[in-house]
Amino acid sequence: MDRVININPGHDGERSWQDQANCMGVDPDLFFPERGASTREAKEVCRGCVVRADCLEYALTNGEKFGIWGGMSERERRRIRRQRALARRTGVASA
């Protein structure tokens, strides 16, 4: 009997969050603007995306240092990581 390997654990037959993202088919360069350039257009693509939270959590979990993920810049994600680290140290629920 052949074994089926689930390459997307936790989604049992569902499409992965990436396949449902508003940014599918959008030029990736939009999400990696040059230093000092506007992030407004990329964040607009993220606004209302059904998998925005999944995207943001992916970036936070994997330490993405560049680009717009889940509608947030690295500076915004860094603030969330600091808040979560502080919450873990103080025993408060995470953000």
Per residue in 61-73, pLDDT (tens digit) is 999 999 999 999 9
d(CA 36, CA 32): 11
Residue 12 in domain: no
Residue 6 in domain: no
DSSP string for 3-68: PPP-SSTT-TTSPPGGGG-TTTTS-GGGGSPPTTS--HHHHHHHTT-TTHHHHHHHHHHHT--SS-
Residue 25 in domain: yes
Q: Please give the residue range of the domain that contains residue 55.
A: 17-90
Per residue in 3-51, pLDDT (tens digit) is 333 334 444 445 699 999 999 999 999 999 998 999 999 999 999 999 9
Average pLDDT over residues 86-95: 75
Which residue has better confidence, 93 or 5? 93
Q: What is the pLDDT of residue 91?
A: 80
Domain tally for the chain? 1
